Chain A
Amino acid sequence: MSCFVAGLGVLAPGLSGRSNALRVLRGDDAYGSQGGCVPQFTGLAANEARRCPTTARYALDVGQQALEEAAWEAARVATIFSSGSGDLEILDKNCRALIQTPIALSPTLFHNSVHNAVAGYWGIAMGSRASTTSLSVFDDSFAGGLLEALMMASLGTPALLVAYDIPAPPALALVRPIKEPFAVALALCLERPAGACTRIDWAWEPRSTEGSVVDLPGLETLRTTNPAARSLPLLQAIARLQATRIVLPYLAHGQLRLDVCPVSAVTPADHRP
């Protein structure tokens, strides 16, 4: 099956937004993760913005980047949110509250702890009542979210995928060693967008290879330590504007094969009957 990438968004330390990330992935700019990054987003009222957890901040930032590039109307776009571990900061706070006497959980932290809290904030910020789902495939959550988005788009519904994972707090760092935040968004659709874009021909198949890597050392480390950063080989293929086969492992037994092909802007010649 096939679909097109109409827009993308990236945010991580050293990859501050779409343009910067594409330059770094092409090798035009050096990668350096120092300095961190601060998610930027619009749409939430002051009290909701204050309550908005870290995961949702990253998701809103990259999702809005991708929609802006795709020039899609936010309120009508189906969304898929994917995360390997959700919001570990909130989990830690809730678990600590549960060992106090008496137990008093924060209502805000409780409702922010659900895996789909990010989807809830997205809907409120974008005024979107469109179809939405939130999923996880542990370390292969990017591949899982991408598979759901590819299926949706290839069956005819334009879909926005947002994948994110944030670092574990110290209490959980040994069992979930995610050290850097990473968020990525892809706007996928069946109809070819007018501007230059990327086509993905895809298939899910039994595992036959180790999977694609990134050929920039710092980013390869990031790829292996944050589930959302497993998008980097695909992002690099998109950035380099070269036809490339990318393989994303999907659990021990499967893989997502992606034939990534740059497509130039639609010209009048493309409209010949």
Chain B
Amino acid sequence: MKESARLEIGHTTLVSALGRGLKQTLATLRGDRSGLQSYTAVGGLVCDVGRVSGVADVRVPGELSRYACRNNNLAMLALETDGFAEAVRRLMQKVGAERIGVVVGTSTSGIAATEAAYRDPNFGITGTIAPDFPYRETHNVFSSADFTLRYLGLKGPAFVISTACSSSAKAFGTATRLIRSGLCRAVVVGGVDSLCDTTLYGFQSLGLLSGTRTRPFSAGRDGISIGEAAGFTILAEPGVLEGAGMVLAGIGDSADAYHMTAPHPEGLGAWEAMAGALAAAHYDPSDLDYIHLHGTGTAHNDAAEDLAIQKLGCHETPVSSTKGATGHTLGAAGICAVAITELAMGAGFIPGTINTEARDPALQSALVLAGRRGRVRRALVNTFGFGGSNCCLVLEARS
């Protein structure tokens, strides 16, 4: 494989509040509908979230029973949707289980299992989590990749990337290196994050949780709505996948070096990641047909992202945020954006900024409010996370 050959992406699957699988996801986006609904957390916090139905009913296989938890159940739902697990099985026969890696992005993994263990009356008595608690299999941050690897029966290298809300975008960087180094011919790349009290109450404590429902890029935006999602795709050297939909044309990542939670006020780190991704793809900003915004719906994040897009020179490029539809799926935000962008390319449809009625007049980007027809061949996906962790992907439709 030539070092410059662009890696292909295919067999994508997504389960989120938009629906189970790509078909439902596209139908919901075409209807400009939101998957957010009111939710009451343990402890009484009421807010809108993007919740996936049926997660508690998932039964993981017996030999993986210690892995059962909301996060891995959600991962399994996605693995069994859109024919993903079957596509991996076919690929294993073709290239060998040893030559397929797994890189999964997650921010909190199965932390909800540990939250529940602290709530258990036994914890009040003993003050310790019992030794039979499946910490490694549920809560530990690597659990998401461990479960995915075991469920699919793969034998290549595995990683969890955990860089907050850029996790599953950065996962594409590690996956690219696994292929460029010759270790893997294909890599299962994904993102999984599920609802838990830590993020709900944590974002509330920072004043970043919307009191109503997130409205990205609107004048009255008041914070995020949290969502849960699991998505997977296969990144592979050219010619390995049957029917790859896209190529990964470039990746750019950067750190803000500014603040743990607030973005750089001029969007400097975001701009560097976007410019880096375009440079890696050998694109000019004017080559882009669409930018899938990070667009979280907080006052500062959206303002910084808007400034970065203007600094990049994408004044006319259509942009939209789908977080009013999915909620902010944190570590899964990258894979959600990749899946939605692949749908946009396939359907000739630019998703709208669902739940936002009008663009904040202080922002400059060409925000798409209602979904509309539009040709998308080359797109940029933005993700920015806590700790000033930025990662942008350039995707191109495969001709």
Contact of A129 among B130, B173, B201, B256 (CB under 8 A): B256
Residue-wise interface mask of B (113-145) relative to A, using a CB-CB cutoff of 8 A (1 in contact, 0 not): 011001100010001111101011000111101
> Measured between C-beta atoms, what is the minimum distance from B323 to chain A in Å?
19
Q: How far is the CA of A86 from the CA of B135 in the complex (A)?
A: 13
Q: How far is the CA of A100 from the CA of B393 in the complex (A)?
A: 41
Cross-chain pair count, CB within 8 angstroms: 211
A103 in contact with B141 (CB, 8 Å): no
Contact of B254 among A130, A148, A154, A176 (CB under 8 A): A130
Q: How far is the CA of A132 from the CA of B162 in the complex (A)?
A: 11
A147 at interface by CB-CB < 8 Å: yes
Contact of B158 among A120, A132, A251 (CB under 8 A): A251
A258 at interface by CB-CB < 8 Å: no
A133 in contact with B161 (CB, 8 Å): yes
Q: How far is the CA of A93 from the CA of B269 in the complex (A)?
A: 31
Residues of A near B259 (CB, < 8 A) are 124
A196 at interface by CB-CB < 8 Å: no
B contacts with A: majority SS: mixed
Contact of A206 among B98, B272, B388, B389 (CB under 8 A): B98
Q: A91-B114, A113-B202 are in contact. Are A120 and B159 (CB under 8 A)?
A: no
Contact of A134 among B119, B129, B161, B272 (CB under 8 A): B161
A170 at interface by CB-CB < 8 Å: yes
A266 at interface by CB-CB < 8 Å: no
Within 8 A of B (CB), among A119-145: 119-121, 123-124, 126-138, 141, 144
Q: Which residue of A lies closest to B174 (CB)?
A: A148
> Measured between C-beta atoms, what is the minimum distance from A4 to chain B in Å?
17
Contact of A137 among B107, B130, B159 (CB under 8 A): B159
> Measured between C-beta atoms, what is the minimum distance from A89 to chain B in Å?
14
Contact of B155 among A110, A115, A126, A254 (CB under 8 A): A254
A129 in contact with B254 (CB, 8 Å): yes
Q: Which residue of B lies closest to A125 (CB)?
A: B257
Q: How far is the CA of A183 from the CA of B387 in the complex (A)?
A: 20
B146 at interface by CB-CB < 8 Å: yes
A136 in contact with B387 (CB, 8 Å): no
B206 at interface by CB-CB < 8 Å: yes
B228 at interface by CB-CB < 8 Å: no
A46 at interface by CB-CB < 8 Å: no
Residues of B near A102 (CB, < 8 A) are 43-44
A135 in contact with B255 (CB, 8 Å): no
B119 in contact with A103 (CB, 8 Å): no
Q: Which residue of A lies closest to B160 (CB)?
A: A136
> Measured between C-beta atoms, what is the minimum distance from A247 to chain B in Å?
15
Q: Which residue of A lies closest to B41 (CB)?
A: A103
Q: Which residue of B lies closest to A254 (CB)?
A: B157
Residues of B near A106 (CB, < 8 A) are 205
A155 at interface by CB-CB < 8 Å: yes
A105 in contact with B205 (CB, 8 Å): yes
A151 in contact with B178 (CB, 8 Å): yes
B201 in contact with A176 (CB, 8 Å): no
Q: A117-B260, A117-B387 are in contact. Are A135 and B174 (CB under 8 A)?
A: yes
B151 at interface by CB-CB < 8 Å: no
A269 at interface by CB-CB < 8 Å: no
Q: How far is the CA of A86 from the CA of B144 in the complex (A)?
A: 15
Q: How far is the CA of A136 from the CA of B114 in the complex (A)?
A: 18
Q: A107-B205, A148-B174, A174-B128 are in contact. Are A206 and B155 (CB under 8 A)?
A: yes
A96 in contact with B181 (CB, 8 Å): no
B45 at interface by CB-CB < 8 Å: yes
Within 8 A of B (CB), among A35-69: 51
Q: How far is the CA of A254 from the CA of B206 in the complex (A)?
A: 42
Residue-wise interface mask of A (174-217) relative to B, using a CB-CB cutoff of 8 A (1 in contact, 0 not): 11100000000000000000000000000010100000000000
Instruction: Sample 20 A-B pairs with CB under 8 A, ordered by A number.
Output: A98-B115, A98-B118, A98-B119, A107-B205, A107-B206, A110-B205, A114-B386, A119-B255, A120-B255, A124-B258, A129-B255, A129-B272, A132-B389, A135-B160, A135-B162, A137-B142, A148-B177, A151-B183, A170-B127, A250-B157
Q: A105-B198, A174-B128, A174-B130 are in contact. List 15 more A-B contacts (CB 8 A).
A: A85-B141, A91-B111, A98-B197, A114-B162, A115-B162, A116-B387, A123-B257, A124-B260, A133-B161, A136-B141, A148-B174, A148-B177, A151-B181, A152-B177, A251-B149
